[in-house]
Amino acid sequence: MVDLGTTGSPSFWSGLRQISSVWWLCLMIPVAVALIDPDALVGIVSFAAKAFGQTAVLIVFAVLAIGYLKASGAESVLAEAFKGRETRMIFLAALLGGLSPFCSCEVIPFIAALLAAGAPLSAVMAFWLASPLMDPAMFLITSGTLGLEFAIAKTLAAVCLGLFGGFTVRQFARSAVFADPLRSTTHVSCGCGSPFKGTPVYKFWTQSERIAVFKSAVIENALFLGRWLMLAYLIEALMVTYVPAEMIGTFLGGQGVLPILLGALVGAPAYLNGYAAVPLVDALLDMGMNNGAAMSFMIAGGVSSIPAAIAVWALVKPRVFATYLGFALVGSTLAGLTWNAIA
């Protein structure tokens, strides 16, 4: 029994110290905006809250799925489905990723669930790279604004980028770069390692200990994904507010290879919503933007946008994160060069 008279209750300050640093950053960003530019505060907070709300359904689905996997002990069954079929899974992941209706941020909860289920990193990487770049609605918008040829080229680029990343990871899976890819904290937060072995109990709610595991996994993953995505959307709101899109486009005009390289380098850290990027690129093309730069800009921006990069950083170790960014830069540059030669 704990002697409360001796130990005392936890102090207010000790409780504050236990709050994640990510939550502190989420709090400090609005505070800093309120002090520096109070007129922009409401817009920035509203933008982040709306974006988070649109992703909330996917977060809920993901954390419930992870909780179910862990509580039922079904993780091992799902992991078995990937054994011996890695090549097929890479092709399927790249193809499905190129058609899935997920943006770069929305795909993160599903990636966490796949990693928790024991999917090979090669297939996950293929889906990870291809998924933010194209979906049916975006294909229609892109083809209607930039032309059917551009939309088809971007779709093919998305699939090829996924295949490029997936098979590269598969080839070097045993190297030090891809060994033990998840962060140590991610093993807990993503619900890996079900305590239940043997035959899964799909109706886990019939056992009290499994119910407890389900609740714990749901809470842990909801907090984990929630704080990182909220930080991502706050940073996105800052960029939309303070970084003019026209300024980015200024560096991407002209002809030759250099604009394509600049398109990839600028597009990688600059967040662009796939739908909002279409009219922007259309306007920049009318102003003389290089065709290849337009393609490299959209590919790199979709894969390595700051919100997506922050969430990826939260899940995997720095060496895998750096490789992810490398795939985006190399793949977008190759896509830009190819499209520039064709167009």
Residue, of 86 and 192, whose pLDDT is higher: 86
306 contacts 232 by C-beta, under 8 angstroms: yes
β-pair partners for 253: 289
Tens-place pLDDT, residues 145-167? 888 999 999 999 999 999 999 99
pLDDT of 266 reads 74
| Separation between Cα atoms, residue 63 and residue 138, nearest integer Å | 27
pTM summary value: 0.64
pLDDT of 4 reads 40
Q: Hey, CA dihedral for 270, 275, 280, 282, is it positive or negative?
A: positive
Report H helices in 99-244: 107-117, 121-130, 136-146, 148-171, 184-189, 208-242
9: its two tokens: 């209750």
| Separation between Cα atoms, residue 258 and residue 262, nearest integer Å | 6
189 contacts 224 by C-beta, under 8 angstroms: yes
What is the share, in percent, of the chain residues with pLDDT greater than 90? 19
pLDDT level of residue 333 (50, 70, 90 thresholds): very high
Q: Phi, psi (5° rounding) for residue 206? A: -85, -5
Tens-place pLDDT, residues 80-139? 545 567 888 888 888 887 776 555 555 666 676 677 667 788 988 888 888 878 877 778
Mean pLDDT is highest, among 68-82, 84-98, 240-254, for 84-98
Averaged pLDDT, 28-36: 94
Cβ-based burial of 62 (10 A; exposed 0-12, middle 13-18, buried ≥19): buried
162: its two tokens: 């996924």
Query: How many CB atoms within 10 Å of residue 31?
Result: 10
pLDDT level of residue 63 (50, 70, 90 thresholds): confident
pLDDT of 19 reads 62
| Separation between Cα atoms, residue 46 and residue 54, nearest integer Å | 12
Q: Is 160 left (phi over 0), alpha (psi -120 to 50) or beta?
A: alpha
